[in-house]
Chain A
């Protein structure tokens, strides 16, 4: 890159108590540059973006924007310097409508005589969505019941509403389906064309190489290297991230569609108004059945419906026990597990301990006489999950919200795999986890497959379903539009052609 330097960072430090989050960070961002930050969970990349965005004050070091000293004391201060950020886990205010969420903290600019002109604000919000080609949720609707993707779009619009010179994106794509990802890629390309700059964090290495100009790799809070995206490959990035070589392909390397085992689940004519229409499929023991589609395709509703969380017409027949699944407790009793997409809101008790989260799906099995839970058994099970799945933590009593995204997901997955499962539904299981955890999750899935567990893998990442599934069901507008077997034309091109 040869553009003029817009952000210069020298010797930036940040520590939380005795732990260094960032150590002597040097970083340069140029005009018109898309710069990627990558590293394992806990490597300090989100902290660095938070320092740039004014969420954290730096302990020492210096930042300069356009050659002038820059030391933001708040996100609003950063905004005033033309910098805004979409955070990994910030969110929107559920009790306020979309339009207000876009301008929250800055609603005063629409006030006349103390009264906020909501129409004017909604017009301005609509203009932001329109300008950047983002999918716009209803502006007057409260955001509390919106799906994670819509909420992320609102956060993105909020960041763009200040028309920033530097846009910071912290794992935004992980929440988006393919079409919205494409919109985001277009947006980043437009930013580049406008000679503005973007710093991107994503755990998807291929995506990062594709959309960035430069990649800075962090490990344990330090910069370990910087590469030109056009001259690198995923293996080099992985090696820089973890300090050792990780095998080039952590997906399956076979081309066989192993779906000949005994059928475990039979779904027939499943319809849920507005979400699914006449969905029918079977899943077999030891099979990984993939689902993919665009954001409105209904893939996530399939997981919820199979686990009995939402219902409509049609049947979800669990064959080993000859039971029609209509509720989550019934699914649980029939050895079915479910890992939802929205980990923090739908899967985990985020303020409870690792122990409580680990044993939650297994309380029926652990229950002793008179319904009491023996503390020794409970702690033993939690400890065994923590060790078996290498959850980086201080112990089983550590609160879940103190863990990184990857370690939260290990607990989330581990507690199901510790059970005697017949069917596991995984909805975006590697969302927001780094390459090491991703590899571990895929290894666990392969092991579960070997053990005869049937799996439904729902994913917004096409490479993931193509890499892991035996069969792939492509969905569009709530219907299954195509089935592709692993031993057939199992390529991105063939799937995308059907999805769109």
Chain B
């Protein structure tokens, strides 16, 4: 057998074995939920409340999975909020025209096409992705605004999706979509050649290129995969909220903050739990906190976001202490 390099030098001071960590992690989550239940005066663990949290977690989980691919290849797309607005809008319009197939195809196609266009621009223009992303966000916001104005004035559009077509945003369908998404994304990210190539590209583009990975093709794959994930998120967003708020002045960027927070939380524990699995868990944790804060009467918006910020810092501190004895 080959000799095994001393684990100490490669971050061995992990302390806990994986199964011990999983047990403690699950135990901590259960304890925290019980604590939330107590703090909320007994309403938190009611099934109707939990259902609401799960339904709310679905849409940002898909965006956060999209971020996994985006960030893995070293890109940042600030236009995703704008894409979600346009995609949700399309989902609403086509849903009201063609029923459930319209909801699905409208959101999916717009999400896919726009993110793919973004990646064509990132790949072939040479503009840094965050700069191009901001420009594209402004374009998508303006398009959504013009579309809404023109269709409203012609009385061609209902501002909200008909209730009978909102099933995908409710249990059990959103949970089924979430679990299906989890399986597909897990395999795509961890167990396919394209997933490994995407991660290699973000790790070190020079090395990846020298090892024969086709950079442009891989980037376009990222656009395609992220596009589908954002497309599903558009469908879920429309199905959950039933309406689209058109945003201008780059306020659509706000829409990516919560998925970003989910991604960051997942990133913190990724050494122990695969990041793809972490995403829905972190989404559930995050929305549980928001839910509790709402139940306690903390105003949504500024104060809840302050709590979110504090929570991320706390997780960051815990996460950065996970490996001892390693100079990072």
A-side residues, CB < 8 A to B, are 55, 74-76, 87, 90-96, 100, 104-108, 111, 114-116, 118, 126, 129-130, 133-138, 141-142, 145-147, 149-150, 153, 158, 272-275, 295-296, 304, 309-310
Contact = CB atoms under 8 A, between A and B. Distances in A.
B326 A145 contact: yes
B207 A93 contact: yes
Given A94-B204, A100-B196, A150-B5, 19 more contacts: A75-B212, A90-B210, A96-B196, A100-B200, A105-B208, A116-B193, A118-B190, A135-B5, A136-B3, A138-B5, A142-B271, A145-B326, A146-B9, A158-B211, A296-B6, A296-B9, A304-B327, A309-B327, A310-B327
Contacts of B328: 145
Contacts of B325: 272-275, 310
Interface string B1-21: 111111111111100000000
B321 interface: no
B187 A105 contact: no
B203 interface: yes
Nearest to A85: B210
A138 B11 CA distance: 11
A76 B73 CA distance: 22
A153 B200 contact: no
B11 A145 contact: yes
Contacts of B9: 146-147, 150, 275, 296
A107 B193 contact: yes
Contact of B10 (A100, A147, A272): A147
19 contacts: A75-B211, A75-B212, A90-B206, A91-B204, A96-B196, A104-B208, A105-B200, A107-B193, A114-B192, A135-B4, A136-B4, A137-B4, A138-B7, A145-B11, A150-B10, A275-B9, A295-B5, A295-B6, A296-B6
A145 B323 contact: yes
Interface in B204-241: 204, 206-208, 210-213
A275 B5 CA distance: 13
B13 A126 contact: no
Contacts, number: 123
B3 A76 contact: no
B319 interface: no
Contacts of A150: 5, 9-10
B199 A93 contact: yes
Contacts of B13: 273-274
B2 A130 contact: yes
B72 interface: yes
Contact of B2 (A118, A126, A141): A126
Interface string B58-77: 00000000000000100000
Given A115-B187, A150-B10, A107 B327 contact: no
B191 interface: yes
Given A95-B199, A100-B196, A116-B192, A105 B2 contact: no
A295 B5 CA distance: 9
A183 to B, nearest CB: 9
